[in-house]
Structure 1
Amino acid sequence: MSPEYAERASKLPGAVVWRRRAAGSTGGGAAGLVLPDGCIDLLWTEGRLLVAGPDSRAFQLGPGLRGPWAGVRLPPGAAPALLGVPAYELRDRRVDLADLRPAAEVRRRTGRIDAAPDPAVALEELALRLAADAQPVDPLVRAVADALAAGRSVAATAESVGLGARQLHRRSLTAFGYGPKTLARILRLQRALALARSGVPLAETAARTGYADQAHLARDVRELAGMPATALLPR
């Protein structure tokens, strides 16, 4: 893991707390690239609280987004209940939390996190408080996310939760920000990159994660990340 970036499991089930030091000037490339993962993040940087919606493609960090940052990465389907907004309204967007919650409340929260000895811990406490005040995540939404993350097909997932294709698509837009096919594709990419980064050859990675072949994997990586798979692997 980069010395500029660290993460740990959150006290909020399924979430991850992360922090990133201020990065240097942007030069493009994988170092400044945020890959789609089906998640929504609650973000802090000094003086600001934001939400990063579910990405459908890679997001390149710009000069104003280079840190330092702390974040709570919420698992697929968890954020709409916490934020009170359907995930599709946040897709491919970075928005101020004050656009989603009362502005006075957000100003108070921001000041407290700015003054905290560890902003990441304070941000996690905010996420836990939002979760305590929210409705629990629908078990069906969790079941869909878990099935797709495990590599089950969209058809098999729909059957397992008792939904038709249109119902599953509609529920997925609200919970995840995009339809189940897109979410399945993004989660498959994440599984493939995790395997490849552990040292598994790309041809074997493709076979083990459900791609037709290595060329299929290469096309998917380029379409979702905007660069070849080899550029995303350790050198």
Structure 2
Amino acid sequence: MEFAERYQERAAALPGAVLWTRTADGEPFRVLPDGCMDLLWVEGELLVAGPDRRGWIGSAEPGVRYAGLRFAPGTAPGLLGVPAREVVDLRLPLADIWSPRRSRRLADRIGTAADPALALEEVAGALFDAVPDRLVSQVLRGVRRGVAVPALARGVGLSERQLYRRCLDAFGYGPKMLDRVLRLNLALDRARAGLSFAEVAARTGYADQAHFTRDVKALTGVPPKILLA
């Protein structure tokens, strides 16, 4: 039996989250850093995917089904009860964070549903009622506006060292790394929309096209021309 790679996503009921599904075709796939954490259901098991610092190549047997909730940057640690710094670059069972019994109960509920992705969304909506961290939105807003770290720290009432620690807990990155990752994804979106690399670099805050190319390769492992081919 042959399997075609199938990937779909849509906005989830949880604010800022994306619900996605995928059926593997057996071919390698590339995962890029995006500043997000995911709650994954993979053929009956619940996993937590931490924020990535670099791109990586994954693989799965043909026909393996995935359903995932990709949380907006900085929101998952408060919902899952684990600092982002503790799960950076990791994929680990939810049972390592929550109790095995609770995790198994949720996994069984999702796995026996007619639509595991919808059940994952419903479970998350019922369980996750944490109050949003105001600091997260302030930091994200400042980083996206290009505010320098000293000014960003002053703006949120923290020292630079305190800001760095809080960012590690919320995002898994310090503010400078967070800026690089968010800018990378914005730049790639603009490139996919048809802008030339020179235009992308100019509009996204890179010094020049060479800077854009170097940073893409450093974060993803390949230059943009190959990544977007």
**TM-score over 0.5 for the alignment?**
yes
- Counterpart contact for 1:151–1:188, Cα < 8 Å: no
Q: Which residue of 2 aligns with 1:52?
A: 49
Q: Which residue of 2 aligns with 1:225?
A: 220
Instruction: Sort the Cα spacing of 1:95 and 1:138 in 2 relative to 1 into closer, same or farther, 3 A.
Output: same
Indicate whether 1:180 and 2:180 are aligned. no
Shift of 1:62: 2.7
Q: Which residue of 1 aligns with 2:64?
A: 67
Separation (CA, whole Å) in 2 of partners of 1:89 and 1:114: 27
Count residues with an aligned counterpart: 226
Shift of 1:85: 1.1
Give matches, 1:18-97, under 5 Å.
18-26=20-28, 32-63=29-60, 67-97=64-94
Stretches of structure 2 lacking an aligned partner (at least 5 in a row): none
The CA RMSD over aligned residues, in Å, is 1.8
Shift of 1:143: 1.4
CA distances 1:53-87 after superposition (whole Å, capped 9, x unpaired): 00000121133698310100001111111111111
- Counterpart contact for 1:77–1:137, Cα < 8 Å: no
- Counterpart contact for 2:49–2:87, Cα < 8 Å: yes
Shift of 1:100: 0.5
Residue identity matched to 2:13? K
Q: How many percent identity over aligned positions?
A: 54
Stretches of structure 1 lacking an aligned partner (at least 5 in a row): 27-31
Q: Which residue of 1 aligns with 2:117?
A: 120
Residue identity matched to 1:186? V
TM-score, normalised by the number of residues in structure 2: 0.93
Separation (CA, whole Å) in 1 of partners of 2:173 and 2:147: 17
Give the stretch that moved more between structures: 145-154 or 171-180. Answer: 145-154
Separation (CA, whole Å) in 2 of partners of 1:20 and 1:69: 5
Indicate whether 1:148 and 2:150 are aligned. no
* Structure 1 ranges of 4+ moved more than 6 A: none
SS in 2 for 1:50: strand
Residue identity matched to 2:162? Q
Shift of 1:37: 0.3
TM-score, normalised by the number of residues in structure 1: 0.90
Residue identity matched to 1:128? G
CA distances 1:75-111 after superposition (whole Å, capped 9, x unpaired): 1111111111111000000000000011111111111
The correspondence for 1:216, drawn from 193, 211, 216, is 211
Indicate whether 1:166 and 2:161 are aligned. yes
Give the stretch that moved more between structures: 115-124 or 60-69. Answer: 60-69
